[in-house]
Amino acid sequence: MSLKPISECGVVVLGGTAGVGWETAAQFAEQGARVLILGRNDERGAAACAKLLERVPGADVGFVRVDATIATEAVRAEAECRQRLVAIDVLVCTTGPSAPPRLMHNIPIDDLQQRIEEIMLPPLHMVHATLPGMRAQRAGAIVVVASDAGKIPTPGETMVGSAMGAILTYCKTAALECKRENVRINLLTPSLIAGTPGAQLIFNEPFSAKMFEKASAMAHLGVADCADQASMIVYLASPAARRMTGQAISINGGISVA
């Protein structure tokens, strides 16, 4: 099996306007990849591209607007990315929840569907939309950022854990189905990630702040940051990880070992 070096890859990063997604896009660009950032807001997309070009002058980077909670939007965005890149060699999905952890009895029943779908649907839609092209070219690497909450039941993370558990099962099963076409699918399952919009969301609310302060105290190797996650994503997309698929890797400083 022949795999492209990162410098020859066309890379798509869903959720690439901030946090882990932006850092991942930057690290791919530093290695010479052509990168398209996907997000829902044109202004944030333009700002993310400008910031990336400050870090990596001359980088081949662009933005595609998409609301990946909508299946038809994901299909359209995939087609646009494939046209602009010629081939999508790497897909990275880094979207997450828009609300902090809350105990189940504090979540109105009318909110359940929205909370689940906003977490679960974007990566599933983009993976589903991208796989046919990767299978046809008989090569590709997908990395999805999920959460330790999908592995370990945690009070306050009923919705997050349920959605992330679905993402884990979807990606692991798809990895088995697609390995014959040389398409690899792996996941990262972090806990708290320092310096991200998600961390700010968590620490702005007393319950979730207290919960993650306890988790941070267990990270004896240090709370992971965006660079930790991004470097692993680049590795998983590279030929160095050519034998890896269906794995869920936790870079969490030692908070858990599941």
pLDDT band at 1 (very low <50, low <70, confident <90, very high): very low
Please report the pLDDT score of residue 2 as a whole number. Answer: 54
β-pairing, 34-39 with 90-93? unpaired
Domain of residue 96, CATH code: 3.40.50.720
Half-sphere exposure at residue 123, Cβ-oriented, CA atoms within 13 angstroms: 31
Question: What residues make up the domain containing 100?
Answer: 6-249
Within-domain flag for 1: no
Please report the pLDDT score of residue 218 as a whole number. Answer: 81
Within-domain flag for 255: no
Within-domain flag for 254: no
Within-domain flag for 50: yes
Please report the pLDDT score of residue 184 as a whole number. Answer: 98
Q: What is the DSSP letter of 69?
A: T
SS3 22: helix
Within-domain flag for 209: yes
Tell me what the mean pLDDT of segment 175-201 comes to.
90
Q: Which amino acid is at 116?
A: I
Tell me the two tokens of residue 32: 């010479």
Please report the pLDDT score of residue 60 as a whole number. Answer: 98
Total of domains in the chain: 1
Q: For residues 221 and 235, give the distance between their C-alpha atoms in angstroms, rounded to a whole number.
A: 21
Report the percent of the chain where pLDDT is more than 70: 98
- What pTM did the predictor assign? 0.94
Q: What is the DSSP letter of 157?
A: -
Within-domain flag for 64: yes
Within-domain flag for 174: yes
Long-range pairs for 72-79 at CB < 8 Å and ≥24 separation? Answer: 73/125, 74/122, 74/125, 74/126, 74/128, 74/129, 75/129, 77/38, 77/126, 77/129, 78/12, 78/126, 78/129, 78/130, 78/133
Within-domain flag for 185: yes
Please report the pLDDT score of residue 27 as a whole number. Answer: 98
The region of weakest confidence among 2-16, 75-89, 172-186, 207-221 is 207-221
Residue 136 pLDDT exceeds 60: yes
Residue 37 pLDDT exceeds 70: yes
Please report the pLDDT score of residue 30 as a whole number. Answer: 98
> What are the C-alpha distances in Å from 52 to residues 29, 35, 169, 200?
8, 10, 33, 22
On whether the CB atoms of residues 24 and 16 are closer than 8 A, the answer is yes
Residue 219 pLDDT exceeds 90: no
